[in-house]
Amino acid sequence: MQLIGSRIKKELTPLSIKWLRYYSPIDFTKAMIFLILGKKGSGKSALVETLALRYPKIIDLFSSRDDEGLAWCRDSSPIDDILLVHGDNVDLNCSWNTCKTSDLTLKKMLEYEVVIPSYSFFTQGAGRFAGINKIIDLCWDRRKWKKPVYIAIREASSFLYSRIKQEGGGMNMKAAKANFIFWQREMRHFGYALGIDTIRWTSVDKEMRDLADCQIIKKVGSQGLPRDISFLYNYISPRSMAGLPPSHFMLIAENSAIGLGRSACPKFHKEEGVDLLEELGITIEYGTPLIETTSQRIGDEEHVKIISLYSNGKAYQEIAKTLKRSKSSISDHIIKHNVAVEEKALCPICERARADNADRAIPIRGR
Ligand SMILES: Nc1ncnc2c1ncn2[C@@H]1O[C@H](COP(=O)(O)OP(=O)(O)OP(=O)(O)O)[C@@H](O)[C@H]1O
Ligand SMILES: [Mg+2]
């Protein structure tokens, strides 16, 4: 009996490929990039899950707004070793293990089979993107690895948006795409397989598509295939491609092998119109929303970062360089924090973000 995580291999949601040109079986022991393109409702997210099941560990990084990634918690899912990640200013009441973003480490993430920072577990905007970006940053710490960890990205444009937000407006879409391409390329070296699903698939640049080890094309609708992969019409009629059922897909492998794939829908996949939070009995209490960082304004998470970096011995100059801010705005924030602690016993910004230093003045060095 072969096990993948706690799953029995032969009981996994079925997935098969009939090779039409060359032969190129998918090697799930490698850090592969799967890019799944297709129309709304074409079965992309279900396939992201079916592929994920082939990997021992999964980070469901970008769930959709309806918390689709929480489907791993359903009784019908083969996984019960789950960590739910939430914002620092959010409390989760549920029967799964939970961790707030600031306590999360790579070691902790790797103790679980599935890590889910679900959409509703963060306050709007700033809180959510800070959480996702923290996980992305932690991924780089994996310098030694044997088996790949699978990262599910259920909507590629959310990834781009989060990077734009993180840089406080200092990054535009073009830079965010370049950053995403760089990230995809580098993640392989740190042992991450990626399953990327995107609905805005015509806006996925050729460069991004070329990076994938497996391009998976689901139902394309009347739009048809992008010109650079229209050679697929030598293997499937335009009519069939336009109306592929959600169980079917065309696959282009890295060695230009072409296959017609078939997969079942995982039993636990979220159906439309179902509220998983209610079904799973998860209740959420939100704290005060965090103020977002922009290029003009230091937001709450960035304030917390400044205080933490300074109290850990970093100089103004170093912090300014890391955060791409002026030295004076760094020192202003430290002074603002200390004045608030002295006058009101609490820094309201740190309090909002539930940071550890909220009631602690930070000794100013070198005076
Ligand atoms: N492999 C499959 N076999 C049979 N039915 C499927 C399969 N995959 C998905 N379905 C059906 O199609 C529905 C939509 O699937 P899914 O949520 O994966 O689509 P999607 O492409 O991610 O949609 P969206 O673009 O809205 O995110 C599922 O709820 C399920 O009923
Ligand atoms: Mg989907």
- And the tokens for 162? 């989060």
Ligand nearest to the CA of 51: 1
The Cα 103–Cα 85 span in angstroms is 10
Name the DSSP class of 338.
H
The residues near 19 (Cβ < 8 Å, ≥ 6 apart) are 257, 258, 259
pLDDT of residue 167: 59
| Assigned token pair, 271 | 């159906």
Do 146 and 110 touch, CB atoms closer than 8 A? no
- Distance from Cα 271 to the centre of ligand 1, integer Å: 8
Output the CA–CA distances (angstroms, integers) from residue 277 to 69, 79, 324, in the order listed.
Answer: 11, 18, 39
**Which residue's alpha carbon is at the smallest distance from atom 4 of ligand 1?**
247
Are 293 and 127 a contacting pair, CB within 8 Å? no
Burial (Cβ within 10 Å: 0-12, 13-18, ≥19) of residue 13: buried
Q: Which residues fall within 8 angstroms of residue 340, CB to CB, at 6 or more apart?
A: 346, 347, 348, 349
Question: From ligand 2's centre to the CA of 138, what distance in Å?
Answer: 26
Strand partners, 19: 259
Cα of 120 vs centre of ligand 2, distance in Å, is 17
pTM: 0.85
CA dihedral 179, 185, 191, 194 (to 10 degrees): 80
* Residue 145 burial (CB count, 10 A): 13
Ligand 1 mutation target, pool 249, 269, 271, 274, most atoms within 8 A of CB: 269
Between CA 80 and CA 86, with CA 82 as vertex, the angle to 5 degrees is 150
- State the Cα–Cα distance between residues 26 and 5, nearest whole angstrom: 19
Beta carbon of 263 within 6 Å of any ligand 1 atom: yes
Q: How far, in Å, is the centroid of ligand 2 from the Cα of 157?
A: 12
Q: Is 157 in the pocket of ligand 1 (CB under 6 A)?
A: no
Phi and psi torsions of 35, nearest 5°: -115, 120
pLDDT in tens, 85-95: 999 889 999 99
| C-alpha dist (Å) from residue 30 to 150, 182, 189, 194, 290 | 10, 19, 11, 11, 39
Q: How far is the CA of 194 from the centre of ligand 1 (A)?
A: 19
pLDDT score for 46: 96
Surrounding residues of ion ligand 2, Cβ less than 5 A: 45
Residues with Cβ < 8 Å from 274, sequence gap 6 or more?
Answer: none
Cβ of residue 48 lying under 6 Å from some atom of ligand 1 = no
7 lines ligand 1 (CB under 6 A): no
Radius of gyration of the chain (CA): 22
Name the stretches of the chain with pLDDT < 70.
125-127, 163-171, 199-204, 367
Q: pLDDT per residue over 107-122, tens digit each?
A: 999 999 999 999 999 8
- Token pair 């890590």 is found at 115
Q: Which protein residue's CA is at the shortest distance from atom 7 of ligand 1?
A: 265
- Provide the pLDDT for residue 261: 98
* Distance between CA atoms of residues 87 and 357, nearest Å: 17
